[in-house]
A and B are shown apart, each in its own frame.
Chain A
């Protein structure tokens, strides 16, 4: 309002001056003044509308949160009070896989529960039999920083990609002399780095996410783009496919702090969650498919329920300062494993929200973590060039150790007398 008054005032002033002293200078001054004023008002108008849009979007967001909160009548740890606590778990590293020349960035398990594929910064992708720690195949990619790799469900191929903006599929051949790189098939093409890739239920389709802010579904045979998913405002860092019956959705997390749930068939974003305070590095579905967990640079893991449409648990501790790079659930969904940038692995009780175990061993940050398909162990890859397969401490031995010393002593004394009697 005042701006319009200012303009009117200035124009009137100029006109008066022109009437009094009709000189060229005056007229030029008037014109210049008018131009400056109009530019200023335009800029102010633009700023006004931007501010208005921002306030409008903020008000809508608060309204959405209010709607979500209406049906939230109980917290997860309250519901979980009736469940038995887990006590302290002991995890131990069972296998160490050495062979990469640089930081390990990603890994994936094969459906046969013992083979894994891993990729590293030096461009090497290695297929291991983790049980025997033998290397079975090795591929050298033409680019460095291979940030994504995946094993095909049939076990016959691996997909990998990274800074080359592409996702390539290598069929695994058993002929030792054959160069795997010769049969490479370039499937996905993005305009920025590939951050994650995953096969859908078969070898024929691949889902990829990229630093260009999109996810895409590709047909492996033809390399054709089947569907693209737009909606993230920044790099997409991770994705996971839903284990549900209909098998048609997936979740992705990005640098815009949002986790989006997408419908693979229509390409639409069905649900969106924005409660993290920093980039989301990893997302993983709960085994039943009704929820998913996310790990972020803000050092927390959060559990989001899809039916209640809200975050239901936060897994954090004041002593944990460094960000989470990857998360995964155990088979039953009771335990949540998180690999952290402070070189440790923390194991959380999903229902109670408490930490049940911490595993040391890596000498640099943990970059990737996956639980094996049958839940017997989990594998972690780290920037210290190694991969470690770990599992819970041996059960029968643990039960023996848990016996108190008095009981052990009485048992020994009893057996001693028993043998004495037999000999006598």
Chain B
């Protein structure tokens, strides 16, 4: 469906699952994800209730997940197989490959904390990073991503690591130190020298750009 993918996208609704669509102009066909064999309808309901995706998007994401390792991921998920893709595969996705925070993102959303993700973790990651997720939820996960040592506070070393990743180590020592001091000065509300989740969320409330930057399109 090369030329008319636009029109077909326009009119596709999420009820038409398991049906073959044929474009009347170019006679190209597309098959909507044949959900009867991948997920049961209860599973799809559950995923729909737990993420910000529709059925069509969940199936599309499943196919993206499967494309990373077709030999590891079965086509039949009705029995809840315990399949975990290693971090190297997740980090090789084009959307994450060059992102300096990809390791932290994978670690935060994975169950084992090492970046090896199941399908649930995969869906969770892209659901939180999608544009429908609310600000508080995104702020929570952003906090966890920037908290490199997982002590539930963003301390100075976390800030230094964040800055070095943002700027690819281009800033000098002094500049990094000054920026960290300024950040803690401005954002630390309870004066303990590091940012807690409340400080971070309070700061995010005042940030106009956060929702549009903390967003991955998939």
Is A bound to B?
no
